[in-house]
């Protein structure tokens, strides 16, 4: 073998050896990077799991709040209709009360007129001699009627 061919072969072997070491180092670095990426992926998966759990909790809370809002809306509608019914009942009762007061006032006025007419008639009739004697006879025969 010629010195010319051995020397380039040695350089070539050295170069291949350097390339082999570089590739081995690169493989180790890639392996470390892969382990780091796998660890980051596991951490990310855990984070995604926690976020999904939290999201589901918020969804359940939102559904509960929506159900509560619907219940409140239904209660409000019920109370509003009941309030309106009570207002109508109040108006009806107020009208009946006013009608009863008016009827009572009319009855009281009629009774006052009747009493005034009776009193005037009684006073006028009791002054007549026959009626006065009859009243005196009734008073003597029934002392319980005195003072009327």
In-domain check, residue 145: no
Report the pLDDT value the prediction gives residue 94, as an integer from 0 to 100.
Answer: 94
H or E segment to which residue 40 belongs? helix 3-126
In-domain check, residue 136: no
Report the pLDDT value the prediction gives residue 91, as an integer from 0 to 100.
Answer: 94
Tell me the pTM. Answer: 0.46
Report the pLDDT value the prediction gives residue 85, as an integer from 0 to 100.
Answer: 96
Residue range of the domain that includes 55: 3-128
What is the C-alpha separation between 103 and 111, in angstroms, rounded?
12
- DSSP one-letter code for 127: T
Provide the 10 A C-beta neighbour count for residue 24.
Answer: 10
In-domain check, residue 140: no
What is the C-alpha separation between 41 and 51, in angstroms, rounded?
15
In-domain check, residue 103: yes
| Whether the Cβ atoms of residue 139 and residue 146 lie closer than 8 Å to each other | yes
Residues in the chain, pLDDT under 70: 1-4, 145-148
Report the pLDDT value the prediction gives residue 82, as an integer from 0 to 100.
Answer: 95
In-domain check, residue 143: no
Tokens found for residue 124: 């006028």
What is the C-alpha separation between 120 and 115, in angstroms, rounded?
8
pLDDT tens per residue across span 71-89 = 999 999 999 999 999 999 9
Structural domain count, the chain: 1
In-domain check, residue 135: no
Report the pLDDT value the prediction gives residue 73, as an integer from 0 to 100.
Answer: 93
Tokens found for residue 64: 């509960």
Report the pLDDT value the prediction gives residue 2, as an integer from 0 to 100.
Answer: 61
In-domain check, residue 104: yes
């Amino acid at each position: 073998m010629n010195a010319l061919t051995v020397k380039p072969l040695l350089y070539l072997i050295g170069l291949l050896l350097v390339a082999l070491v570089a590739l081995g180092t690169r493989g180790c670095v890639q392996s470390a990077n892969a382990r780091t990426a796998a660890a980051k992926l596991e951490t990310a998966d855990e984070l995604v799991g926690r976020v999904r759990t939290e999201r589901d909790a918020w969804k359940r809370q939102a559904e509960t709040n929506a159900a509560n809002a619907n219940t409140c809306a239904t209660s409000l509608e019920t109370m509003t209709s009941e309030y309106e019914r009570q207002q109508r009942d109040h108006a009806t009762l107020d009208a009946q009360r006013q009608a009863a007061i008016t009827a009572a006032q009319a009855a009281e006025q009629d009774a006052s007129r009747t009493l005034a007419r009776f009193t005037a008639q009684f006073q006028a009739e009791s002054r007549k001699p026959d009626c006065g004697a009859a009243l005196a006879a009734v008073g003597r025969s029934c002392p319980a009627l005195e003072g009327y």
